[in-house]
Structure 1
Amino acid sequence: MRRRIRFLTVPVLAVLVTGLTQAVAPAAAAVPGNDYCAGQCNDILPPGENGSATVAEILANKVFGTQPAHADDQLGKYADLAGGYKKLTTATIGKFFNDSSFGVPADQVASTLKPRADVTITRDKATGVPHIQGTTRAGTEFGAGYAAGQDRLWLMDIMRRVGRGQLTSYAGGAPANRELEQSLFAAAPYTEDELKQQIDAVAARGPRGKQGLSDAQAYLDGINKYITDAHNGRYFPGEYVLTGHVDAITNAGTIEPFKLTDLVVLASVVGAQFGAGGGGEVQSAVAKLALQEKYGAEQGEKVWQSLRAESDPEAVKTLHDGQKFPYGNTPANPQGMAMPDPGSVTDQQLVYDRTGSAAGSTPAKVAVPAQKGQEAARGMFDNGVLPGNMLKGKHGMSNALVVSGSKTASGHPVAVFGPQTGYFAPQLLMLQELQGPGISARGASFAGLSLYVLLGRGQDYSWSATTSAQDITDTFASPLCEPSGQPATKDSNYYLYQGKCVPMDTVERKDSWTPTVTGGTAAGSYTLRSYRTKYGPVTARATVGGKPVAYSSLRSSYLHEADSLIGFQEFNDPDFVRSAADFQKAAGAVNFTFNWFYADSKDVAYFNSGANPVRSPKADPMMPTWGDRGFDWQGWNPAGNKADYTPAAQHPQSVNQDYYVSWNNAQADGYASGGADKSAVHRADLLDARVKALISSGTKVTRVNLTQAMADAALADLRAEKILPLLVQILDKAPLTGAAADAEAKLKTWLEHGHQRVESARGSKKYNDADAIRIMDAWWPLLVSAEFKPAMGDAAFTAMTNVLQINESPSGFQNEVLGKHVGQPHQGSSYQHGWWGYVSKDLRTVLGQPVAGPLGAKFCGGGDLGACRTALVDSLTQASAQPAHTVYPGDSDCSAGDQWCADTVIQRPLGGIAHGKISTQNRPTFQQVVEYPAHRGDSVTPVYAH
């Protein structure tokens, strides 16, 4: 049971302030001689490295707005690039990015710490990043764990509970806490035995596996040593006090040590959200059936396939030299589909046995007298310790721009790349440098998984990743039954497998919580229960041909979240990665779905990773399939979820293509890589157009102009760049009058100005062309509805919006289907998921322009240009009349009508510290800018420079 918080008196606060940090003195510089980047490697990770704050620091943040050291010192740099990129020079890259050279010069050492004799943690003055130097490998890993505890202990602790579905019992039953733990429990409902089995399986994979287990144990030892030191020294994160787990006065209470299975839980959180693709087959089936109902079986199939955009010939692809890597395509005559009866699908219930606030009771507010400073803490976590939707949405937001040396000014490759993991305070990622036997790297790692650098640089190479989301998840249907022989219903918890009626497996988490101090959340409890068949967690139930079935989600990385450890270990090993081919081999050991990019002084490379199951050649990967009827994955064994996987040679890959761009777009011809968003228009077009323009113009690529290309795309409105010119062509087929004419004039002016969302002046919090942006934001959902809904009909249109949302602009949009505003919660990244490709193909068809892979029907005005124009004019007129307070209705962070604020990026608090808003930018969270002038083995001595 959680303790009620004992609030602090002013004298106690004063005592705590004096003990915020350990007393450590600066020491000699830690400058290794193995850095071949010569000061030409940079990175950035907002808001800052320090993700830990004491109670005193949290209260000071709430009352006075002060920030702990290094909590937000990278946020300003990151934000300023939007206004400064056009004047960027080689000399000013450091204004917007950190120097990511190895080591710390003597005059930049802020502190040193030896948590044990075989490791030293040196922190630099500029960013507070830990530079960990071990004389033994175990010491290096111990130091990595200790530094992780220093910088992210509270976040790591909360996330291990999220992954187990046990957040509410630890941090209270706020709705956000419940929403978050439910979303993760549904994806990876593991037992403790299953977590342990994953550890044992990796450890048994030869010397690398054995080394990984040893590394993980040393890493845990470091975390747990920090927990002991911080608790005894009273400089642990203040959230433990504010959630009632440690008493502020007596220091009584417990911060539980970490164990190996916690690392698997954290890996499952990361893997399920960022490294898995596919699924959604039931929603696709509903949409397909609705289209067939509207258009008939034959044309309905054509319309579905065109909207599914499985292998759209117009889609921008990372591999553009004609390479083909066929995978995941729908066969000509698919068999084994388990299509639901119309209206029969219901989502699987996850929450049971609700009591108290879990059953919907209204929390009673309790009046508590307060002192200044303590008032700010009361109720701090009434709405949850973490955002409820932080891991529910799609997270394929990373990007990469990589150019080979044949196209650069120096003759050496240039790369600007990074992952997008959302914006949080503290960030889910943390920066570090690791130097020790068999390890030499600097970069970013997920908190709690920082025994290796996951994305960053080695001695003479850098690497990064984007989410690829190729289809490694399928939905299998199992007939329901009753062991008594009575007719089954959709509620039956037995299913047919190999001729027997067998019970579903269940995994439960029983959570209860007590009232918070303010009464913000009343006491309550519930049980999370996952039903599982041999094919994974049950996600939905339905009838097929009138008979009840359970739909289960089978993911190839399910029960295998720890497998990728070996690939990451190899990324960090300087003796393993000496070339592009070595890197590709290491990437091939990662079973999560990522696009990997590599650059050294000579080569660039790309590899698509993931455990791609070998499917039955008769099965349609996009539709739910009957299980246990000859359509299972080839070689599949439900014990441990093992199957045959496509070999590395069949994964999209390349070395020294002239350039690579990726923004979670299609990988290569023939590679059916995930969702319907990979259509004729994709946000990767923004990158591709700018890099292609650089190269085709004969301009030699540099770190400066490649960064400028990324930053320019980060501010562009995809709808304006790729669709608005087509809309204007149709509108201008006849003179416009009234509101539509005025609106079009503003939109044309915005196009002429570069169609970006940029402030009129630094700090103005007002956009250039603000009215045109308002019109576009209001118009897009209206025009999509006016263009497609009359022809599709309500049922098919609504079903298709469940397959692919119509919009993803920075501030959200008025959803005509749901009848409410749908926000993008200040996430920064935008324009991945939307109907832009559909709109482009349809409008070009109406205009009589060439369309490769046209849609299976004509939609706008039924294909008639005049009728289409009328629909566009009417929807534009309606949009122009919408006031700002309707388009931007406001939320807990912004007033209604505040356009700039609606678009802002907010570092969502994952603890007690909050940071300020920054202008929207569509770019990675962690980002590197790199160019290596030398490589190991060259006759050039490495140059160290900061």
Structure 2
Amino acid sequence: MPRRTPRTTLDRLRTSRRLPGFLKTASVCVLVAGLLSPLTQTAVAATGTAAANDYCGGRCSDILPPGENGNATLAQILLNQAFGTQPAHAEDQLGPYANLATGYKGLTDATVNTFFNDASFGVPADQVASTEKPAGRGDVTIVRDKKAGVPHITGTTRYGTEFGAGYAAAEDRLWLMDVFRHVGRGQLTSFAGGAPANQGLEQQFYRNAPYTEADLQAQIDNAVAKNGARGQQALADVKAYIDGVNAYIDASDSGRYFPGEYVLTGHKDSITNAGTIEHFKVTDLVALASVIGSLFGSGGGGEVDNALSLLAAQARYGVEEGTRVWESFRERNDPEAVLTVHDGESFPYGAKPADAQGQALPDAGSVSREPLVHDRTGSAGTAAAKSSTATAAKTALGSARRGMSNALVVSGKHTADGHPIAVFGPQTGYFAPQLLMLQEIQGPGLSARGASFAGLSMYVELGRGQDYSWSATTSGQDIIDSYAVELCQDDYHYLYHGTCTAMEKIEQKNAWKPTTADGTAEGSYTMRVWRTRYGPVEYRATVGGKKVAYTTLRSSYLHEADSIIGFQMLNDPDHVKGPQDFQSAAQHINYTFNWFYADSQHTAYYNSGDNPVRAGGVDSEFPVWAQPAYEWRNWDPATNTADYTPASAHPHSVDQDYYVSWNNKQAKDYTTASWGDGSVHRGNLLDDRVRKLVAAGGVTRTQLVQAMADAGLADLRAEDVLPKLLKVVTSSPVTDSTAAAAVSRLQAWVTAGAKRTETSAGSKKYADADAIRILDAWWPLLVKAEFEPGLGSDLYTAVTGNLPVDEAPSAGHGPTGSHAGSSFQYGWWSYVDKDLRAVLGEPVQGGLARRYCGGGSLTACRDILVGTLKDAVGRTAAQVYPGDDQCAAGDQWCADSIVQRTLGGIKHGKISWQNRPTFQQVVEFTSHR
């Protein structure tokens, strides 16, 4: 009998990583019918799986909250919502993950797996929870372990292995997979209901990837055709995987243990079993990949926003000085920025040209965003939907604001046992169920364990092979450009190589009826995108009086399936036998990621992505004219292919003393699309700690985990900027009693380590709570008072549009939103740091063009800081932490807390804040093939 454990709904996607909500109530008859659904699990097997070719020596571990099981029957959903009960393995990784925040200081190598799973290959016989032959096949077996319920898939044929991977994926994430294939097609509200958050989610992605069914199929055909035997194998793997998914759909339908969300959204009848769950097809996986790639692997964009802030700077200071001021805030190549490749090697990319060519800056006040939503009917939720659309639009400007993830990798030359150690993982947000899922896959040409995005788990995407491991962080280099197409005839024709050409209209209509869980009135709307050969239209404006449309072209557009070859290679033990093989695999991934590698002897790094070769003189920071002279070199609009920079030009390295990444700058002279790669970046929190460990030598797994965990509890502002703020404030005696008391509290917090930690495990109260409240209140006040007088309100507002002032854990206005865990990536910490050092007369490399605090006067600057500090002290906890749908006003711990945002029917409790990857590995291989 197949495994039966579906679950989840869609809560609300407030940022690029938060999803919608639609499960609320169910009738008594539905509850009774759901409770009568079968809930039994498969019989426990007596034997385990062999740990074939495992060279980790028991030193590989991983963790992925809340739990592996992401499916739940209707009965399980209703019991969870009524009584908080959890299906098996739905949240059993959440507690260990959360507990590291208070347990890391006492960690030992022997207790690592108290907070992580044993990621060794295979399952010992006494740890087997279940064994099954999916669809009765004789060529594949799925064994699940007792501790976490992870599927260990072993096949004797390639087809059977991939069939088992698809079956296991559907067992654990069917509903989530279904949600995301509809998101990728812009059809979520028709599928899941008209909740405003559902509308906002699909709108966020549709503008970036408005694909037709023909577009989706063409991407498959192109990826297969250009990759020879590997391309053919990838297509065969995908088809086998989908066969497995569909086999589970059929089995769960006939057995009536499909995810309960299908009942709650009106797709299935709990009593008659009427209704269908649509089978998956190959193009569904391309749609799904487009969502994941857009979220985490498409760096760049924002050229129009950059242009607007440049124009504001030039309006304030004049063209020459305004440009100099703008460049100083942009920090394209800041000499004080922390680097992943820190050996001094240069990898020039995206530098400011000496004489910019083809720029198409908009006329002041002429820019308007292209409307996406049309023909709306139904009044319920309209205002909220418009608000959600606006939020989605801002978030979708570029993936530079979707960074996250971290990596700490130390060479064997500096470890206690002489083997490299890595602690690394992606930050994909916190959801129920999680976007990622765990698996082990063993079969012909496949041998790996780790995490994959649900619906794309035909291969392990982040994890370990037989004698090596790999992981990624979002890199954010610029693979997106904005082109100004000159309009002709009307607003829907443009000049292409001198010919007036019609834009292509792409539409998706969404209509919905009220469902049990949705709560909205019946309604509909149409999403409409106008496409040009230079990509979709995003803005309209005038340039020199000429009407233009600004389009967005990214190198991965129409190429969402290409990266499958790189992942196939990473899972192939016959391909990856060392660091160079790893780098060659990563070169086949066209999304923008930093890739890290460790085996028993070597470490390595490679920055992936199809970096277009731009025409000479083109500045990638700003829109350019859509003319042949300014197009990507050898660009073919029919296939969206061009010349790309060679692998040797991408930041890469083997056996550097150590590597760290927290979405910081990759290497010298390598410009990313991210604002804020300056002197203070959250990457410094890792670099400072790992550098000290390496200098001391004898690094252990325990020490590297502790370095990660310690950095993950630090307040970046308090650790790296607050000491300078206090230095200015105390440059003269502080005579005001209110300010003096605040200085004392803040200084004590810095001395104690500047952490946001509980007084004790589970207390839900912070040590140094008052100091934390003061800094949370003070930071936005001091930044505004320090910079706005000098910049002027227009320029200050424009630059905050490029880079938000703050991203503290409780700062719901930050790019990652509230309760997201990830914090301190985006903010004005570097600006404040450089400005204060300049005012103090300390050396600054790559300083701001002007001194801003107090006009450069130390006395005036001190007065500003003292005044804003006193204001901050007077802010109550309720004012600083105003409350939301998760927390009461004034609850500081709750405001910071991490929430598993529901994408289905099962809910989980909050956990204490920590700034840490969602999926994480701890690895130290002891031998090699």
Q: Verify same fold: TM over 0.5.
A: yes
The one-character-per-residue Cα deviations of 1:742-775 (angstroms, maximum 9, x if unpaired) are 1111100100111100001111110000000001
Check the 8 A contact 1:176/1:389 in 2, yes or no.
Answer: no
Distance 2:366 2:380 in 1: 27
Matched, 1:476 2:476: no
Structure 2 residue aligned with 1:273: 295
The one-character-per-residue Cα deviations of 1:640-699 (angstroms, maximum 9, x if unpaired) are 101000011110000000000000000000100221121111000000000011122x24
Pair 1:359–1:913, CA change in 2 (3 A): closer
For structure 2, which runs of at least 5 residues remain unmatched after alignment? 1-21
Deviation at 1:804, TM superposition (A): 0.7
The one-character-per-residue Cα deviations of 1:562-593 (angstroms, maximum 9, x if unpaired) are 00000000000000000001000000110000
Matched, 1:172 2:165: no
Check the 8 A contact 1:357/1:525 in 2, yes or no.
Answer: no
Match of 1:439 among 429, 446, 452: 446
Distance 2:383 2:99 in 1: 46
Match of 2:823 among 818, 826, 830: 830
Distance 2:518 2:264 in 1: 14
Check the 8 A contact 2:402/2:815 in 1, yes or no.
Answer: no
Letter in 2 for 1:258: F
Structure 2 residue aligned with 1:713: 711
Structure 1 residue aligned with 2:523: 524
Matched, 1:870 2:863: yes
Deviation at 1:32, TM superposition (A): 2.9
Deviation at 1:14, TM superposition (A): 3.7
Structure 1 residue aligned with 2:329: 307
The one-character-per-residue Cα deviations of 1:844-897 (angstroms, maximum 9, x if unpaired) are 110110101111111111111111111111111111111000100000110000
Match of 2:43 among 24, 30, 35: 24
Match of 1:733 among 731, 734, 739: 731
Deviation at 1:357, TM superposition (A): 2.9
Check the 8 A contact 1:118/1:134 in 2, yes or no.
Answer: yes
Distance 1:85 1:37 in 2: 23
Check the 8 A contact 2:380/2:520 in 1, yes or no.
Answer: no
Matched, 1:907 2:900: yes
Structure 2 residue aligned with 1:47: 66
Distance 2:149 2:370 in 1: 46
Letter in 2 for 1:217: K
2:525 alignment partner, SS class: strand
1:851 alignment partner, SS class: coil
The one-character-per-residue Cα deviations of 1:355-386 (angstroms, maximum 9, x if unpaired) are 113783899xxxxxxxxxxxxxxxxxxx99xx
Q: Which moved more, 1:445-454 or 1:876-885?
A: 876-885
Structure 1 residue aligned with 2:172: 151
The one-character-per-residue Cα deviations of 1:291-328 (angstroms, maximum 9, x if unpaired) are 11111111111111111111100000001110100011
Distance 2:740 2:775 in 1: 14
Check the 8 A contact 1:395/1:421 in 2, yes or no.
Answer: no
Check the 8 A contact 1:540/1:551 in 2, yes or no.
Answer: yes
Deviation at 1:738, TM superposition (A): 2.6
Structure 1 residue aligned with 2:619: 620
Structure 1 residue aligned with 2:129: 110
Letter in 2 for 1:87: G
Check the 8 A contact 2:378/2:523 in 1, yes or no.
Answer: yes
Pair 1:120–1:389, CA change in 2 (3 A): farther
The one-character-per-residue Cα deviations of 1:126-151 (angstroms, maximum 9, x if unpaired) are 00000000000110000000000000
Structure 2 residue aligned with 1:262: 284
1:635 alignment partner, SS class: coil
Check the 8 A contact 1:7/1:248 in 2, yes or no.
Answer: no
Letter in 2 for 1:435: Q
Check the 8 A contact 1:37/1:932 in 2, yes or no.
Answer: yes
Structure 1 residue aligned with 2:275: 253
Structure 1 residue aligned with 2:11: none
2:340 alignment partner, SS class: coil
The one-character-per-residue Cα deviations of 1:68-114 (angstroms, maximum 9, x if unpaired) are 00000000000000000000001110110000000000000000000
Structure 2 residue aligned with 1:930: 923
Matched, 1:33 2:52: yes
Structure 2 residue aligned with 1:367: none
Distance 1:65 1:406 in 2: 49
2:629 alignment partner, SS class: coil
Structure 1 residue aligned with 2:702: 704
Deviation at 1:520, TM superposition (A): 2.1
Letter in 2 for 1:175: P
Structure 1 residue aligned with 2:10: none
1:759 alignment partner, SS class: coil
The one-character-per-residue Cα deviations of 1:335-364 (angstroms, maximum 9, x if unpaired) are 11000111111111000011113783899x
Letter in 1 for 2:311: L
Q: How does 1:809-820 map to 2 (within 5 A)?
A: 809-812=808-811
Distance 1:419 1:361 in 2: 35
Structure 2 residue aligned with 1:321: 343
Residue identity (%) = 61
Deviation at 1:515, TM superposition (A): 2.0
Deviation at 1:188, TM superposition (A): 0.6
Check the 8 A contact 2:359/2:624 in 1, yes or no.
Answer: yes
Q: Which moved more, 1:559-568 or 1:862-871?
A: 862-871
Structure 2 residue aligned with 1:573: 572
The one-character-per-residue Cα deviations of 1:692-726 (angstroms, maximum 9, x if unpaired) are 11122x24111000000000000000001110011
Letter in 1 for 2:593: F
Structure 2 residue aligned with 1:485: none
For structure 1, which runs of at least 5 residues remain unmatched after alignment? 364-382, 483-487, 816-820, 937-946
Structure 2 residue aligned with 1:214: 236
Check the 8 A contact 2:189/2:511 in 1, yes or no.
Answer: yes
1:412 alignment partner, SS class: coil
Q: How does 1:458-473 map to 2 (within 5 A)?
A: 458-473=465-480
Matched, 1:654 2:672: no
Q: Which moved more, 1:734-743 or 1:556-565?
A: 734-743
Distance 1:10 1:220 in 2: 32
Structure 2 residue aligned with 1:419: 426
Deviation at 1:20, TM superposition (A): 1.7
Pair 1:822–1:260, CA change in 2 (3 A): closer
Structure 1 residue aligned with 2:507: 508
Check the 8 A contact 2:196/2:382 in 1, yes or no.
Answer: no
Structure 2 residue aligned with 1:558: 557
Check the 8 A contact 2:424/2:920 in 1, yes or no.
Answer: yes
Matched, 1:190 2:211: yes
2:743 alignment partner, SS class: helix
Letter in 2 for 1:495: Y
Distance 1:299 1:675 in 2: 23
Match of 1:236 among 237, 247, 258: 258
Structure 1 residue aligned with 2:610: 611
Check the 8 A contact 2:839/2:857 in 1, yes or no.
Answer: yes
Deviation at 1:22, TM superposition (A): 4.5
Match of 1:87 among 106, 110, 113: 106
2:144 alignment partner, SS class: strand
Distance 1:266 1:237 in 2: 19
Distance 1:210 1:907 in 2: 38
1:66 alignment partner, SS class: coil
* Alignment RMSD (CA, Å): 1.9
Distance 2:87 2:255 in 1: 18
Distance 2:674 2:457 in 1: 31
- What TM-score results when the alignment is normalised by the length of structure 1? 0.93
Pair 1:358–1:560, CA change in 2 (3 A): farther
Distance 1:212 1:358 in 2: 45
Distance 2:35 2:90 in 1: 21
Distance 2:599 2:815 in 1: 43
Q: Which moved more, 1:26-35 or 1:305-314?
A: 26-35
2:742 alignment partner, SS class: helix
Pair 1:873–1:514, CA change in 2 (3 A): same
Structure 1 residue aligned with 2:370: 348
Which portions of structure 1, spanning 4 or more consecutive aligned residues, are displaced by more than 6 angstroms?
Answer: 2-6, 387-391
Structure 1 residue aligned with 2:18: none
